[in-house]
Structure 1
Amino acid sequence: MSDRPKTDQTHSTSADHVSSTTPLSSAVLLLSTLAIALPTTWPVTQMQAQEPTAPSAAHQLFLAPSATAQQTPRNQRWFPIPVNSIRGQILELNDKQAKIQVPGKVQVDTYAANRVIHVRLANTPDDQIKALALYDQRQFSAALPAIVKAVSEPQNGQRAPVWRQQWLSMLAARAAMQSNRGSVAIELVRQLDQRPLPAMTLGLLPIVWDWSDTSALVQPAVKAAGSDSLAVKLVAASWLMRSQDYRDAAKSALQRLAAQTQRPTIATLAKQLLWQLKTPVQIQSDFESWETEVEALPMPLQTGPMIGLATTLRRMGQNEASQRWSKALELAAPTPYPVPKPTQPIP
């Protein structure tokens, strides 16, 4: 799936730039107790990866339209606002900001992290290409160890930058969830959640957005429900909300997550899941409000909620609206992951 069908080379205005920084410290992530053939250490943030000092076009940064551009009323523009595409060397990418050195420019460009939709590498290592191809082909059992290898083994003597390790590791958590290795997925999320993450990585949380069978994930979710990690609580609730036995408990957990103010992104995603727990009458009478909320989300977080919206509307018999969102996912999903499932009969 492509990142977006339209891009331009427009930079954001100074109003969209931010100046704060959050240094990334090292941490060792241990997975030796998990019943899967993973390395004894998971070096998501273990290495202080060194970036080349000379400016290059090693990265292509996809940015959501600036806040100023998005404020223009739809009836005052006849064209869609394009996603910005910037090529250069990413110097820093964390939960606050992205810094990129564009070749030929002395000044480093800085953008708010919530605008970073996706990053494409100019020269993606072969092991990452193979791992991502397996994931795209929905071969999740094979993709999991392939992604682990891509994260843990250095290329040309260097590990990937920390932000890339985090992104790949969260994708591994999704592969674990989708291959019914719930305990592995939960552990990865728990460890990744020990530090702030960019929105493009949080958008990959192994949340079940559609109405697929989660019976194999129930027990790991029950064990994880009492975790101190709010991200783990969110993931676990998304796995339990389909279960008749745990639906009410999951709803209560999501309501608490939606009400807390410590982690606004977690609260936002919890509110999106709560929409799926409304009655058919409530959804059918107010689904336009849900659509408005999805459209207002930061673009790095939109793909999962779009899948949930399209699937739920189809279950509720809102076929026209569901098809519209399904087509949007097919042609112009804000991010390439999570991969929407092929259209299937409603369970």
Structure 2
Amino acid sequence: MKKIVIAPDKFKGSLTGIEFCNAVERGIKKHFKNVTIVKLPLADGGDGTVDALQFYIGGELISLEVNDPLMQPIHANYLYAEKEKLAFIEMAEASGIRLLKNEELNPLETSTFGTGELILDAIKRGAKHILLGIGGSSTNDAGMGMARALGFRFFDNENKELKGQGKDLNQLSTINTNLANSELKNIKFEVACDVDNPLFGPNGAAHIYAPQKGASTRMVEELDAGLRNFNDKVEKQFGKNLQNIAGAGAAGGLGAGCVLFLNAHLKSGTELIKSIADFHEQVKNADWIITGEGKLDAQTFSGKVIKGVLDSRTNQKLAVFCGVSELSEQQGKAHQIDFLAEIMQQAIDVDDSIKNAEKYLENAAAQFARHIKSAK
């Protein structure tokens, strides 16, 4: 046994990715003293991404007052690494659904303005590379609110200025770029986006995601028509058709807005983190890759961290440690999982498995080490 790579997602509500790595390392070293262990905590652009990025690039959490989705003051954080001039911003910090009460949810009224304010602060600090995670939104404004915070202006056909809320999509006639922040063109924007929905239509932003953001059937139709109008006006003014960009419909059309206003590239969140971790190089010559997340089910293999690990595997064996697995034996074999450990098998109940995840994970890693030692 020469080299083991530990590359997990977080255990939501229980362990960060690096805590997972440390627990597994301790378990393995009970049976292997001279093994090389490489820790590569991963994330998908949502919860846990700040922890993973700090592991690789350091940086500090910047806190500032911005506007929430309903334009009320709120404190939000983002990660900034001065040396790399890199910022990681989660739109959910300023424009997320978790910031609103159920009765406040209304994608006609909400705006991504606060996300734009976070981007503006990062630009002022000197950021040259901005990663934007766009999961968990409460908005359906195609990024107009964000763009407005960055100096873009939106007008209706009577030349009245629009605020950049969901309800403004239908009123949009022209976009003024004269006051747009001049630094935008000098910054590399990458967007962590793990959905491929188009901007509008039956699989678009409004039909698929707006109901969970508080939209009625009538509101969904209004928002969908608004996104069509937004795309028509953009195509007429800038010659860009945003509809067929995979992920344009993410976060209420923010995916499309990022392409238009930031000249951003939409990428898998996991792939973004893997590139920062230099994952492909780090796993070379490894005998085993260990990965894991809290719950293992059929969804695990569609765009999540474990799928990202599987896609990068060459001839390494794969071990998966999870809180609970809903995979059948056949599914495990289909994904070529060589060793599977479930924490729930050690725990009294779910609360116990969450509370003592670190201890149980260390036990599972020791069991894995015994298994591969005896298989030699």
What TM bracket, shorter-length normalisation? under 0.3
More strand as a share of residues = 2
Structure number with the bigger relative contact order (C-alpha 8 A, sep ≥ 6) is 2
Give the TM-score taking structure 2 as reference length. Answer: 0.26
Give the TM-score taking structure 1 as reference length. Answer: 0.27
